[in-house]
Amino acid sequence: MKTVVCNGAEIPALGFGTFRMSEAEVHEVLPEALRAGFRHVDTAQIYQNEDAVGAAIKACGVPRDDIFLTTKVWVTNFAAADFRRSVEQSLQKLRVDQVDLLLLHWPGGSDVPMADRIGSLNAVRAAGMTRHIGISNYNAAQTAEAVAMSEAPLVTNQVEYHPWLNQTRVIEAARTAGLSVTAYYAMANGASATDRVLAEIGSAHGRTAAQVALRWLVQQEGVIALSKTARIERLAENVAIFDFELSDEEMARIFAMARPDGRITDPEGLAPRWD
């Protein structure tokens, strides 16, 4: 699988996301995803499935060292007194000594100053609890601010990104700061799988619309895509996106699908002022 190299991190360009997956679904699907070829797993404290993710990784038969594991600190744990404890609990649930990547989940939802959040993130990295650190759902200005505050290099900004949402400014800010971008909602809540333009492009390559949406993401410089499915029969399709290439014209057609109302998630109190 292709990897994105960023500030010392080698991140598989396609990850398996576990947002809105129950523990039962994780137990059933994640081991099969790893056996199908996924090597990047994304979870978070607020997903309430870290324990199932840890059990699934143990059960899958794939060596831990071959899996890039990400989790995120929830906003109620940003205070210094809570931050390290919450990460220790995540590691215990995940059955690992350290994760590969630890992110601050949202920029809002907490009165803790950004400098303190970044300081705590660096402290747990220095303690060996994570190999790499990053941010999630930050706008361009916040990305630059976080990078300037962090002693250790940040490696990604995880944001919503799919054909209906123009994230040019966020991506440019990440590239300027030397970060990758990790795209969640890559399937746009299922819209990608049924879109006429994506299906038409896919037919020229013998691929599905969903595969085209994922390929469009990972074909962009420094972009990582998170894919999620609760259907085991879809896993092989989702991972098979590295043996074809979209033309410049096809990429441009997909970029042109972006629209002003394309954003899916914008939680009040958590989200920033978007670019």
The two three-digit tokens of residue 67, written as one number = 């899996």
Residues 124-158: tens digit of each pLDDT: 999 999 999 999 999 999 999 999 999 999 999 99
Is beta strand 40-42 parallel, antiparallel or unpaired with respect to 14-17? parallel
- Segment 95-124 shows an average pLDDT of 98
pLDDT at residue 54 is higher than 90: yes
pTM (two decimals):
0.97
- pLDDT recorded at residue 125: 98
What's the confidence (pLDDT) of residue 55? 97
127: which residues sit within 8 A by CB, 6+ positions away? 84
- Residues 125 and 152: beta-carbon distance below 8 Å: yes
> Using one digit for the tens of pLDDT, what is the confidence trace for 110-125?
999 999 999 999 999 9
Q: Is 47 a catalytic residue?
A: yes
Domain ranges of the chain: 3-187+218-243
**Statement: residue 174 has pLDDT above 90:** yes
Dump pLDDT digits (tens) for 5-27: 999 999 999 999 999 999 999 99
Spatial distance between the Cα atoms of 186 and 86, rounded to a whole number of angstroms: 28
Catalytic entry in 47, 138, 184, 185: 47
**Superfamily name with CATH number, domain 3-187+218-243:** NADP-dependent oxidoreductase domain (3.20.20.100)
- Nearest Cα neighbor of 188 from 209, 158, 218 is 209
Tens digits of per-residue pLDDT, 58-77?
999 999 999 999 999 999 99
